[in-house]
């Protein structure tokens, strides 16, 4: 009888120890999960904050590529002390200073009781803009066209004024300043190139049905490519309108 009892209790003791060990292991795992969740919450909030700020920046800074929010520490610090249930939104963006990368951003925080608080932050942002760079040394007043430039992405901190990122192919322009090779094309330095000047003797083409007539005329004004100018026939003194199609060349339109 005693032997059986001893055997019974001997069989139960290991099971109890195993259960205790499993319980301890469960509580340890639960504690680790809770600690990890506590640590992740601020990280998730920071990630969400950065994501919303990036969306607002991309909408407010069109044409800027490789846009990057370098520092949002002050924003996340401001949000960290708020109620976890509070929500926030980006209200407006100020003017971006490309030289130092600073852009003012106004945020609104909405608490669970319906209260709203607003605050401005100065965020540092970097990005690149697509611009045209001169492929050779360009001289003031000489004719230039799209083939004289190449499109490149340039750090916005190096662009302190407006620069062009596109000019139509086939159009001819001139610069109001010298532009060294590798320099971006300023938007206020490009002008249509005069292919015809007032008083020039121009070649006139008249096409009507299957009839094609070439003659001469005197330009009554300056003309750039595709521009309509007034031309006078030096013999008949007749005035007509013609479109500039090349250097010293026009086609009668009516």
Q: What is the pLDDT of residues 212-230, one digit of tens each?
A: 889 999 999 999 988 999 9
Whether the predicted pLDDT of 33 surpasses 60: no
List Cα–Cα distances, 84 to 31, 47, 128, in angstroms. 21, 15, 36
Average pLDDT over residues 179-195: 91
Other beta carbons less than 10 A from residue 197's beta carbon:
12
Whether the predicted pLDDT of 5 surpasses 70: no
Other beta carbons less than 10 A from residue 48's beta carbon:
13
CATH 2.30.30.760 fits 195-252, yes or no: yes
Helix (H) or strand (E) holding 212, with range, is strand 211-219
Note the pLDDT of residue 239: 93
CB 127 within 8 A of CB 143: no
Whether the predicted pLDDT of 83 surpasses 70: no
What are the structural domain ranges in the chain? 47-128, 135-150+157-192, 195-252
The secondary structure of residue 173, as a DSSP letter, is: E
Note the pLDDT of residue 151: 95
The secondary structure of residue 169, as a DSSP letter, is: T
113 or 154: which carries more pLDDT confidence? Answer: 154
Q: Which single residue is written with the structure tokens 């904050």?
A: 49
pTM, full prediction: 0.60
Highest-scoring range by mean pLDDT, 16-25, 26-35, 112-121, 171-180? 171-180
Q: Which two tokens stand for residue 24?
A: 């301890």
Q: Taking CA 91 as the corner, what is the angle to CA 88 and CA 92, rounded to the nearest 5 degrees?
A: 145
Note the pLDDT of residue 43: 55
Note the pLDDT of residue 8: 42
Give the integer Cα–Cα distance in Å for 104 and 97: 9
Note the pLDDT of residue 9: 41
- Range from 21-35, 74-88, 219-233 carrying the lowest mean pLDDT: 21-35
Whether the predicted pLDDT of 19 surpasses 70: no
Other beta carbons less than 10 A from residue 138's beta carbon:
22
Q: Which two tokens stand for residue 12?
A: 């139960």
Give the integer Cα–Cα distance in Å for 203 and 218: 9
Note the pLDDT of residue 17: 61
Note the pLDDT of residue 14: 55
Average pLDDT over residues 78-82: 74
Give the integer Cα–Cα distance in Å for 142 and 172: 10
Q: Which single residue is written with the structure tokens 């509580």?
A: 27
Give the integer Cα–Cα distance in Å for 74 and 23: 43
């Amino acid at each position: 009888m005693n032997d059986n009892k001893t055997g019974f209790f001997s069989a139960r003791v290991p099971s109890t120890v195993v259960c205790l060990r499993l319980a301890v292991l469960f509580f340890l795992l639960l504690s680790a999960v809770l600690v990890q969740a506590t640590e992740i919450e601020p990280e998730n909030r920071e990630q969400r904050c950065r994501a919303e700020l990036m969306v607002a920046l991309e909408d407010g800074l069109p044409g800027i590529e490789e846009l990057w929010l370098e520092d949002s520490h002050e924003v996340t610090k401001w949000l960290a002390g708020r109620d976890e249930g509070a929500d926030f939104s980006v209200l407006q963006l100020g003017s971006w200073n490309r030289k130092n990368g600073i852009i003012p951003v106004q945020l609104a925080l909405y608490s669970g009781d319906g209260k709203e608080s607003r605050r401005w932050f100065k965020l540092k942002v970097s990005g690149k803009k697509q611009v045209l760079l001169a492929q050779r040394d360009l001289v003031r007043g000489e004719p230039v066209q799209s083939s004289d430039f190449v499109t490149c992405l340039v750090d916005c901190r190096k662009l302190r004024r407006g620069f062009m990122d596109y000019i139509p192919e086939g159009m001819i322009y001139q610069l109001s300043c010298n532009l060294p090779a590798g320099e971006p094309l300023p938007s206020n330095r490009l002008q249509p190139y005069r292919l015809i000047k007032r008083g020039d003797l121009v070649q006139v083409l008249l096409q009507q049905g299957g009839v094609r007539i070439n003659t001469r005329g005197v330009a009554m004004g300056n003309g750039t490519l595709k521009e309509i100018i007034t031309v006078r026939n030096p013999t008949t003194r007749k005035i007509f309108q013609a479109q500039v199609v090349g250097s010293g060349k026009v086609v009668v339109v009516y």
